[in-house]
Amino acid sequence: MAQPPCFDLIFFGGTGDLALRKLLPALYYRHRDTVDCSGWRIIAVSRQALDTAGYVAMVHEACKQFIPAKDFDEAVWTAFATRLEYLAIDATVPADYDKLATALAGSAERIRVFYLSTAASLFADICDNLAAANLVTPLSRVVLEKPLGFSLASATAINEAVARIFTEKQIFRIDHYLGKETVQNLIALRFGNSIFEPLWHRAAVRDVQITLAETVGVGERGEYYDRYGALRDMVQNHALQLLCILAMEPPSSIDPDEIRDEKLKVLRALRPFTPDDVRNKIVRGQYRAGAIEGRAVPGYLDEPGIPDGTTTETFVAMRVDVDNWRWARVPFYLRTGKRMQERMSEIVINFRAVPHAILPGNDAGNVNRLVIRLQPDEGIELHVLAKVPGADMRVKPVKLDLDFAETFKTRQWDAYERLLMDVISGNLTLFMRRDELDAAWHWIDPIHSAWATQSDPPKPYSAGTWGPTASSALIVRDGLCWKEES
């Protein structure tokens, strides 16, 4: 029987929002559902003056808040809490790492994961300090949270600093979208079935739409968000990674590098934007006051921490071309925004219309459509044309709907549960390789440069809508429309 894994998981930024809201609840679930967790050790590190008891109380509150009541069990919690330790360490102070060295003494044979859930500006210092304290062992891994850099130049500086201490195989660059169940299912759908591949190219596909829409605003993250904006926060990573998985060639195996090689080819095939393209093929927007689910919400400029008159975008829509044989002339539309009408992330593949329509109701807008829903309600829908019951021969689109929760009747793992377990087992498949990250920044940077020289500010849109009207115009110009408008 396989040995249960023994590991030391060290969270830098252990009192931060991500750790409390996502990482520790994810570990609670994994601890609950794993038979033998006797070898688990979770050490949270941050500057806050706390002891382990104080930290455990903090995590208890967070878990009660972020884990649904039906899943939260005090007995399970009590067992999980015994795995937690806390060390008050200033990550920038080398001498503070002595505390970590003492805690980790004698554990060099165990898997050691350093999870850097801090600002990327601290990554280099943390890596140097870990190395200086002799804490980096052959079984060590480092997890880097996004955003990894701000541009190609800053990402390169961070990657070089980390690479001085860790080998590429020890570096796990996380993009939590890749851990989502439906993204895994996209891989299963494409490469586990034979019926889709013959349709997966320019002859059969008319257009692809990727929408990552949120109803939340920037909340308490105003300072961070205003520096990054939607293009860096969502497109450079999540949207491009989805596009890669959708558009890549079939890899010859599920070996991490086989998959990452194919994703890299897609990134390199993205048509670069000229300054004119940036003006014509990209819409950037910024939300104004409006209403979300019947509740009035302020505009971006009135959110806490947002400087007056900032031109940071909270919405982006763009037409992307993938210049290779498979996808020539198939437009990919990407769209993401805060304070949109619905929380909805999905990939829509619209197939070409029938070459000659003979059935009433089969107009050009009624095409076969494959919808891969990431959230809410993860699932896959295939829209086909069926006859409307009755005397007349009339067709209309109906859905063949695979709802994962309904079909598999099991709780879907949160993305972080899968990704944390992958780090521990050393599986790099769902993590970005350095050359992928570089290629993504290489493609994104000219957009920012063009925006910096353009005088027109982001287009306003009311909170609770699908973004600026220019976003509809962008796609209507190509004779198409966004799925919710069709």
With beta carbons less than 8 A apart as the criterion, state whether 147 and 158 touch.
no
Closer to ligand BG6 by CB, 117 or 345: give it.
345
Tell me whether residue 372 is exposed, middle or buried, using C-beta atoms within 10 angstroms of its C-beta: 0 to 12, 13 to 18, 19 or more.
Answer: buried
Residue from 31, 60, 176, 238 carrying the catalytic annotation? 238
Q: Which residues form the interface with ligand BG6 (CB under 6 A)?
A: 146, 214, 233, 345
* CA–CA distances in Å: residue 466 to residues 14, 74, 432, 459: 36, 42, 30, 13
With beta carbons less than 8 A apart as the criterion, state whether 398 and 366 touch.
no
Tell the residue number behind the tokens 């990327």, with chain if given. Answer: 120
| Cα 121 from chain centre | 20
Closest of 396, 478, 486 to residue 207, by C-alpha: 478
- 238 belongs to the catalytic site: yes
Q: How far is the CB of 133 from ligand BG6 (least distance, A)?
A: 30
3-state secondary structure at position 135: coil
Can you name the residues that pair with 315 across neighbouring β-strands? 285, 337
∠ CA 372-377-381, rounded to 5°: 35
Q: How far is the CB of 255 from ligand BG6 (least distance, A)?
A: 27
User: Which residue number has the CB closest to ligand BG6?
Assistant: 233
Q: Secondary structure of the chain: what % helix, strand, coil (to 5)?
A: 40, 20, 35
Closer to ligand BG6 by CB, 145 or 445: give it.
145
With beta carbons less than 8 A apart as the criterion, state whether 344 and 375 touch.
yes
Closest of 178, 176, 246, 186 to residue 402, by C-alpha: 186
Closest of 306, 319, 124 to residue 207, by C-alpha: 319
Q: How far is the CB of 233 from ligand BG6 (least distance, A)?
A: 5
Sorted by sequence, the CB contacts under 8 Å of residue 287 that are 6+ apart come out as 217, 299, 300, 314, 315, 337, 338, 339, 460, 461, 462, 463
Residues taking part in catalysis: 238
